[in-house]
Amino acid sequence: MRFEHLVAINDPGLPLVAELSREQVWSGLMHRVEDARRFLPGLDRCLILARSEGLVERELHFGATRILDRVVCTENEWVRFETAATASHGGGSLTVRIEEPDTGWLMLRFIYETTHAIGTEAEYAAFEDYLRQAYEAADIDTVRIIRELAAEARH
């Protein structure tokens, strides 16, 4: 399944919402890389296993479930979380791109690419719809957390 959508950070039509800079958004995304517990409900531990320019390898612990992932990025542009399929996790990737489509606008584009093999076509369609809604809710929450982190850094 491939699914993508946008979440606005700065919208000129919403003047009461505090604007964030590209750097503040990037800092929040890097916080998610370094310690994802605030962003992923149920995550107990986020261990950094290796690090090099533009690459972080992590071990995520959700209770007894252990997931290994790789995070690749280009500073202030995009970050991609890549997870291999295992017996307990379907695997896939999430790319988050910072976009400025016009003056005053700042957005995050979330792109999911996953594989899920389940029952009938109708069951699969219902499951995909559920996943899309869950991804959108999680991404809106990600933006909320990035806003909180930016506010905490100002104080």
Angle separating helix axes 121-154 and 22-34, nearest 10 degrees = 110
Statement: residue 61 has pLDDT above 70: yes
φ, ψ of residue 84 to 5 degrees: the values are -75, 150
Please report, for the chain, the start and end positions of each structural domain, with discontinuous segments joined by +: 2-40+76-154
Instruction: Report the C-alpha gap between 146 and 138 in whole angstroms.
Output: 12
CB 110 within 8 A of CB 104: no
CB 25 within 8 A of CB 106: yes
> Pick from 85, 111, 117: which is nearest to 97 by CA?
111
Instruction: Report the C-alpha gap between 109 and 12 in whole angstroms.
Output: 18
How confident is the model over 3-12, as pLDDT tens digits?
A: 999 999 999 9
Both tokens assigned to 97: 């791109």
Statement: residue 95 has pLDDT above 90: yes
What's residue 123's pLDDT?
72
Which residue shows structure tokens 């990737």? 93
- Evaluate if pTM is beyond 0.85: yes
How confident is the model over 97-155, as pLDDT tens digits?
A: 999 999 999 999 999 998 765 556 667 778 889 999 999 999 999 999 999 999 999 87
Looking at the domain 2-40+76-154, which fold is it? Alpha-D-Glucose-1,6-Bisphosphate; Chain A, domain 4 (3.30.530)
Instruction: Report the C-alpha gap between 103 and 91 in whole angstroms.
Output: 37
φ, ψ of residue 69 to 5 degrees: the values are -140, 165
Residues 50-56, mean pLDDT to the nearest whole number = 97
Residue 147, Cβ density class (10 Å: 0-12 exposed, 13-18 middle, ≥19 buried): middle
Instruction: Report the C-alpha gap between 97 and 26 in whole angstroms.
Output: 10
What's residue 71's pLDDT?
98
